[in-house]
Amino acid sequence: MDNPPGPEPSLTKRTIIGTAWLLLWRAITRSLGLISMLVLARLLTPTDFGLIAMATAFSLSVEALSQLGLQAALIRRRGDGLELHNTAFTLQLGRAVVTALVLALGAPLAAWWFGEPRLVAVLFVLAGVTLLTGFENVGIVEYYRTMRFDMIFRLTAAPRLVGFVITITMATLWPSYWSLLAGIVASAMTRVFVSYWWHPFRPWLSLSRWRELASFSVWIWATASVKVVWDRCDAFVLGPVFGSAGLGKYMLSHEIALLPLTEFVAPASEALFAAFSRAQKDGQSSVHYAGDAAGIVQFAVVPMVITISAAAGPIIEVLLGQKWSDAWPIVAVLTWACVFSPFSYVFSMVAIANGYVRANFIGSVIVSALKLATLIVATAFTSDMVVIASATAACIALESATFVLVLRGKDGLRLRPILAAATRLCLATAMALGAVYWSGLGWGPGLGGIGANLLAGFAIGAIASVVFGAAVLVLWLAFGRPAGPEARLLRMLEARLPARYVPGWIVSGT
């Protein structure tokens, strides 16, 4: 099989190492998050979670509207960047000041929209957090640019650990939504502190190279502004309709359902962005790698999705307790949004890394408008959260297709191999789904005991993983060992594992 030219071996190795570090961070922080969820779900109420969801939806929307894309611009730079870093710090600090003022002044408006007067005080606290983050040391972006993911691990894990300890302590002593805010404040303060402790760069105020940053960042800002709609419209549309309690149930279900995306797809995409940017700085396009990279990520995601969907009842009962038990159908449906998310994440990263920021912006406009319209129509015709979750999952599938289409033809990207690989993956997914359904273990409420729930979850996960993996291999062989993510993954395994683990009759001809 012909392979596209490029620095695949070094980039692949660095990407795998980077992904491993990021996944380690995710594993540790998710363990903390799991413990936190187990404790907080029993100490706090859905109303507490819903109130914080409303506040963060508003604050993160305002912050996203003021994003300047500085990190992406610094990662892509070539040569010395001292003055560029000083300029980025100055812009970052100015953005934080403006954003904090908007949050504070807009707090009464947000409280009126959601019908929740307690939001005013919460948003004042979040405005202070935003101002604090403006002082973060921009020098740490060098760890992304040089793919030092071990340092990124430290920089991200330390704030999470501190936030976890503060949140749990406060919730135990004072069961209230204020304990969640205390954790947010502590995490932000820790991140600013360690950014100076673990990187020697000391920024000064300067705007000497603002034009250089603006030339690239304007499209990143525009895309971030549009993606506010995509990321935050759930809370803005559902909050006034279902109130803080209903929104709390939906958003916590949303967090559990999208675990494959947040805990695997996102860190893998971060590592890939650094690799794609490195290829771009070396004068080589990485667009032709996007389809295979997304497909490889999907191989890990699909068994996770099937397991979470089928075992949603036991998962909810173990993690959150009986008072959340009616949320399992939302999780079972919404997690299917993760299946095609690797395409939207990876293709978006490829577009930015290779300078196709306008195409990335167009894709973001299309999918954000689609999701907002879908949510408005769905809530107008039904109050069934499962139906609304189904509509959201369908939108994310369309999002993935949109990002593939906007890069069609760029640097020789062809759709036919991507569609062929997606077809094989869909067939394998259907086989794994059928096996889990036939077992009779999935898609039901919790079983009433931790042991029984855990046993059912492990059994479902084992069936889904084994059948899906076998189906992927069999279908690839049956289709004549075509080029695609299967072949690329096998070549990677062949290069890094002892020969006895990758039989020659499989990899021959790839």
* Cβ proximity of 313 and 236 under 8 Å: no
Range with the poorest average pLDDT among 8-17, 70-79, 412-421: 8-17
Written as one string, the DSSP assignment of 36-87 is HHHHHHHHS-HHHHHHHHHHHHHHHHHHHHT---HHHHHHH--S--HHHHHH
- Residue 18: both structure tokens together: 């980077």
Angle between helices 485-496 and 8-43 (to 10 degrees): 100
* Cβ proximity of 76 and 353 under 8 Å: yes
Q: Is residue 60 part of a domain?
A: no
Longest Cα pair distance anywhere in the chain, in angstroms? 67
Give the range of the structural domain holding residue 263, as residue numbers without chain letter.
258-495
Q: Is residue 292 part of a domain?
A: yes
| Mean pLDDT over the full length of the chain | 81
For residue 409, what are the CA distances in angstroms to 176, 359, 399, 405? Answer: 53, 12, 18, 9
Q: Is residue 127 part of a domain?
A: no
pLDDT tens digits, 329-361: 999 999 998 888 888 888 888 877 777 777 777
Domain count, the chain: 1
Question: How many other C-beta atoms lie within 10 A of the C-beta of residue 505?
Answer: 7
Tell me: pLDDT of 6 over 50: no
3-state secondary structure at position 209:
coil
Residue 484 dihedral angles phi and psi, to the nearest 5°: 155, -170
Q: Is residue 146 part of a domain?
A: no
- Residue 482: both structure tokens together: 């075509």
- Shortest CA distance to 4 belongs to which of 477, 508, 484? 484
* Cβ proximity of 355 and 280 under 8 Å: yes
pLDDT for the residue 14: 59
pLDDT tens digits, 472-503: 999 999 998 898 888 888 877 766 655 555 55
- Residue 79: both structure tokens together: 């040569």
The angle at the Cα of 232, spanning 226 to 237, to the nearest 5 degrees, equals 115
Q: Is residue 84 part of a domain?
A: no
The angle at the Cα of 289, spanning 485 to 14, to the nearest 5 degrees, equals 95
pLDDT tens digits, 260-317: 888 788 877 776 776 676 666 666 666 777 888 888 889 999 999 999 999 999 998 8
Give the alpha-carbon dihedral of 218, 345, 392, 222, to 10 degrees. Answer: 0
Q: Could you tell me the pTM of the whole model?
A: 0.69
